[in-house]
Amino acid sequence: MNKRGDETDLLILLITMFIFAVGFFIIAFIIPTITSGLKTAGLNDSTEGAAAIETLENFGPVIINRGTFFLLIGLAISTLITSFLTVRSPIFLFLWIIFLALTVFLGTYLGNAYETITSNPTFSDILAEQTLINLVMNNIVVFLIGVGALSMIIVFAKFSGGGGGGRRDRI
């Protein structure tokens, strides 16, 4: 399949961002629970075991937060890169606008769903630590509008490379 960037890339970006953000947020919640259980269980009394538990405990708030943020930004950049590979006639601009509106509409619901998940009092400690994921997901609509607008500009405003616009040399 020779698939290049198209109108549905923003929908795919939105759904992938939501799945990663929720998944990694839950993983960041689970890691401190696991490490505190391992510390109190006394199964790893060795210094190597204690060091491994400490490393895992620091992994959640720092690495997952930054890693997920860079993953989400990387997904947006890959959407913009695939826009360079798309060759579309400007007549299809209305189709891109419809898909952007649909993506913003769904982004509003998924952003509210993420906020509902994170507003649970159980997640209050993790919510304070996962600031970068929350920054992206709480501003998902603005983020999608920005990526969608840049994608439309890249697709419809690029030059065709024909040496000046077509068949002038035959006049």
Domains held by the chain: number: 1
In a domain, 72, yes or no: yes
Q: Within a 10 A sphere around the Cβ of 151, how many other Cβ atoms?
A: 25
In a domain, 171, yes or no: no
In a domain, 170, yes or no: no
Q: Can you list the alpha helix ranges (DSSP code H) found in 42-121?
A: 47-58, 65-84, 93-118
Host domain of residue 130: 9-158
Task: Print the SS3 string covering 103-118.
Answer: HHHHHHHHHHHHHHHH
pTM: 0.78
88 SS3 class: coil
At 123-160, the pLDDT tens digits run: 878 888 888 888 888 899 999 999 999 988 888 876 55
Q: Whole-angstrom Cα distance, residue 23 to residue 34?
A: 16
Tokens of 126: 């993790």
| Residue 148 near residue 103 (C-beta atoms within 8 A) | yes
pLDDT class of 84 with cuts at 50, 70, 90: confident
